[in-house]
Amino acid sequence: MNNLKGITVTAATTPETCTPAWAHATGTIDLQPAPPVPSDLTSLANRLMVLETASRYAIAYDERRLDVLESLFTESVTFSYRVGEGPLSSENGRAGVIKWLGEVMESQSDQRRHVLGSMTVERLTDDEAVVIAYLAIYGVEKDAQLITTGLYRFSMIKEDSRWKIDEAIDALDRPF
C-alpha cells in the first residue's frame, strides 16, 4: 500500500499489471497524427514555450520550488493523479494544488528527479495547448533508483503572455 496525501493506493485500486496502451484506453491521452510544420515564428515560439513550461514544472518539483510551481499554474488549475487504469483523483485550484504538492514533497526524503521524454505538442492554437510527455521518476539518496514511470498530460492556456498549466494529469504505470 502507498499513501500519497489523501490518495491511498492499494491492491484494490491498483491494477495488477500494466496493460499495454492503458493511457489511450482510459482517455488520458488521445494521440493524433503529426501536425504540419509551423510556417510562422509565433507558432514555433509557442511550441517551444509550452515544452519549456512542462520542463520547468519537472525541475521546479525536484527543486521543491513551490513559488515557481505556483507561477506555472492558472488560478483554476486542476491536478489529477492516477495509477494505470485505476481511479482518477484530483486537486483543484492553485492554492489547493500547491498545498497538496508541498505535502507530497514533504513525504519524500530522497532527491527526486523527474525525467521527461518523448515530449510532444498534441494541440496548439494561439491561446491553448496540450503537451504529452513520458515520465521516469528517480529517487536519489545513496544510490539512484527508478521509482516509477508514466506520463504527464498538460493542458495549457496563454495568460499574461505566458503559457500556464490549467490541467495536469500525472498518470503513473505503477504506484511509488
Number of H helices, E strands in the chain: 4, 8
Question: What is residue 95's predicted lDDT score, i.e. its pLDDT?
Answer: 98
Q: Which residues of the chain have pLDDT under 50?
A: 1-12
Torsion sign, CA atoms 137, 141, 142, 147: negative
Which of 175, 176, 164 lies closest to 18, judged by CA?
A: 175
pLDDT at 9: 44
- The pLDDT value recorded for residue 165 is 98
Classify domain 2-27+38-172 by CATH number. Answer: 3.10.450.50
Return the number of other C-beta atoms located less than 10 Å from residue 93's C-beta.
Answer: 15
pLDDT value of residue 12:
47
pLDDT for 5: 46
For the question of whether the overall pTM of this predicted structure is more than 0.75, the answer is: yes
pLDDT of residue 16: 74
Q: Specify the pLDDT at position 13.
A: 61
